Chain A
């Protein structure tokens, strides 16, 4: 559903797609402000905003103290008063101090002011594991926020989606939490259409078609799920992989349409299982499509342990793999 104004495209990885989109936003609209730890002189720890400060100045590319509540709080004020702040939390693991600003303030401003104020704020943050990031550089935070009405949560997996969805997030009149899986930053490359385009928030995308099982995932695991599904294709098993892209709003229609075809649903996410996004999808499908189900809904998710360990066996234990995914998919197709 990308609205593309150019037929040309450029090969980019995810980090380049973020950088290109932010650069464009800064150039096209001088209300756009980037603020966060090390986004200025350092140019962000992944070099996403490298040289931005020189081109756009310290007033629009703001290095903040290590104080996440302030980063989001200031951005909320900017957004309410007409600017277009893009706040960065350096790693999602550090977002907790800003929880009140996001959940208690940003998400409620439109409602609280009876529509007089909105909060057109984007909070970008790298999240996720599999990079030996250990306890404080590996976390998935979506389940802590997806319960909150008034907040949109976007998780792109592919470079073209990064651009289209980030543009939509910036345009959106309400707060959007934009989660970028850090392992995909340089791992995932793809053609990104040139020029400005947007992809509507709340629309999933079928990244691989199939008839015998619906797999819903997001983030890094979409790529592994596709890999697993392609392996199984060679064995004659047909698995459909849906990239959720937006966790909230959630594309119920896409999920239900697919499940009604395949009659089986597997949800895969990196976040731990209990109360995760998979729980919501599972409940929704049970409510809406029970009589289409030909197998119990299954969730492949992280174990309920407090964090991802640094030691490789601990990280491996926490993370899934294309092999494990293929095994579960195969079991479900053959069920």
Chain B
């Protein structure tokens, strides 16, 4: 029996995936649960395990090609099926049964022992009878003109009712859909015109006067940033936090901590701890705006979980792995969780789960001396807060004394649809208060 494998949805907001690498070729055998393809989405590569044991019959998508989730990417001929199934299947799927040469051994015996070789070499459409072939059929039957027009007009071919023979979607159908503006593609077309420039260089080593083609990750960052900027009205606020005491605490603990856990103790977990406490006090900051959709009116969803994304800069792109249920972790737990994620990010080992589900984001922006920044909110969140550089300053304190203190700015970008300045400034003030209260007397 032939099993059609579709592009998996690796994460709840993922709409498309790129075949990064086929780990198997046509004709190779594959075991159940064995990875047979590496798919890249967002910022990770993930191996996709085969749901069956069998032989790869067809690879429907080229390496580097990006397709919508649910698009068939491979056909695997399952082995170990019963004799009756094995002999029946080829008859049903082969487009033109070739009469067996008279002199050859009885065909059924062979058929039960060996999977039928794929008919793909002669170019005829194989396996017309594959399960759930409707969607597949729509794409398979799409002519070059239909594919081009769909791409140009951002039309999802599968969403159009075809007027051609056997329901085929015609070029005119696509143009009609484009005119009525009906079924837009769920994701922007993945195809881009080749840049005019004949000279190219890479993002990691850009050369002036050349074109840098976008990596998948770069492209997605670009799309997400535009999307967030376009849909979420950003407002901005900043507080100055006295981190002298918490800094002392970190310094007092860091050597022992690193010895015991193997991870460095930075200011980040202290900050994240304060953030999750403030989020608990201001639940609207841990929410997302849900736009109107059909008959559903726009609303705000207040997240039940507190999952804090931590922005980590890599040479070629930014990744934002998520500390799940960060509110349930101590400072020590947060330090270990962050340490693990940072290590994974640097090694390129982040999985889809590591990146999914963030409800709020912390950007440790101060490492290079930034004093203030205006970050863009991660789509689907209400805010993002930064840690700027820690500087020693002369500060006039509440009792009018003058002191040298370690000060850090923290900047907040907020989705003004979700919260107003009143809530946001309350959140920032709360965050400041909590951090300033932390000190060596506390418990990690």
Contact = CB atoms under 8 A, between A and B. Distances in A.
B165 A294 contact: no
Contacts of B300: none
Contact of A334 (B143, B145, B164, B171): B164
A141 to B, nearest CB: 32
A52 to B, nearest CB: 53
A263 interface: yes
Nearest to B174: A294
B170 interface: yes
B101 interface: no
B144 A291 contact: yes
A100 to B, nearest CB: 39
Interface residues of B, number: 12
Interface in A244-282: 263
B165 A293 contact: no
Contact of B165 (A263, A292, A335): A335
A290 interface: yes
Contacts of B170: 294, 335
B158 interface: no
Interface residues of A, number: 10
B112 to A, nearest CB: 37
B274 to A, nearest CB: 56
Contacts of B148: 291-292
B164 A292 contact: no
A293 B164 contact: no
Contact of B164 (A290, A291, A335): A335
A295 interface: yes
Nearest to B148: A291
B168 interface: yes
B160 to A, nearest CB: 13
B168 A335 contact: yes
B140 to A, nearest CB: 13
B164 A263 contact: no
Nearest to A291: B148
A286 B373 CA distance: 53
A291 B145 contact: yes
A118 B172 CA distance: 50
A110 B431 CA distance: 89
A153 B168 CA distance: 40
Contacts of A331: 165
Contact of B144 (A290, A334, A335): A290
A293 B143 CA distance: 7
A237 B172 CA distance: 14
Instruction: Name the residue in B144, B146, B148, B165 with the highest tally of chain A Cβ atoms < 10 Å from its Cβ.
Output: B144
A292 B144 CA distance: 7
A334 B165 contact: yes
A263 B168 CA distance: 15
Contacts of A293: 143-145
Nearest to B170: A294
B174 to A, nearest CB: 9
Contacts of B171: 263, 294
Interface in B130-147: 143-147
A295 B165 CA distance: 11
Nearest to B152: A291
A263 B172 CA distance: 10
Nearest to B168: A335
Interface string A304-335: 00000000000000000000000000010011
Contacts of A335: 164-165, 168, 170
Interface in A290-304: 290-295
Contacts of B165: 331, 334-335
A211 to B, nearest CB: 10
A104 B165 CA distance: 49
B178 to A, nearest CB: 15
Interface string A157-198: 000000000000000000000000000000000000000000
B103 to A, nearest CB: 29
Contacts of A334: 164-165
Nearest to B151: A291
B334 to A, nearest CB: 53
Interface in B147-179: 147-148, 164-165, 168, 170-172
A290 B172 CA distance: 16
Contacts of A290: 144
Contacts of A291: 144-145, 147-148
Nearest to A331: B165
A289 to B, nearest CB: 9
A73 B172 CA distance: 55
A335 B163 CA distance: 9
A263 B165 CA distance: 16
Nearest to A295: B143
A293 B99 CA distance: 35
Contacts of B164: 334-335
B168 A292 contact: no
Contacts of B147: 291
A258 to B, nearest CB: 14
Contacts of A294: 143-146, 170-172
A334 B143 CA distance: 14
Nearest to B163: A334
A295 B144 CA distance: 8
**Pairs of residues from A and B, 8 with the lowest C-beta to C-beta distance, nearest first:** A294-B171, A294-B145, A291-B148, A294-B143, A291-B144, A290-B144, A263-B145, A263-B171
20 contacts: A263-B143, A263-B145, A290-B144, A291-B147, A291-B148, A292-B144, A292-B148, A293-B144, A294-B143, A294-B144, A294-B145, A294-B146, A294-B170, A294-B171, A294-B172, A295-B143, A331-B165, A334-B164, A334-B165, A335-B170
Given A294-B144, A294-B145, 17 more contacts: A263-B143, A263-B171, A291-B144, A291-B147, A292-B144, A292-B145, A293-B143, A293-B145, A294-B143, A294-B146, A294-B170, A295-B143, A331-B165, A334-B165, A335-B165, A335-B168, A335-B170
Interface of B: 143-148, 164-165, 168, 170-172
Interface of A: 263, 290-295, 331, 334-335
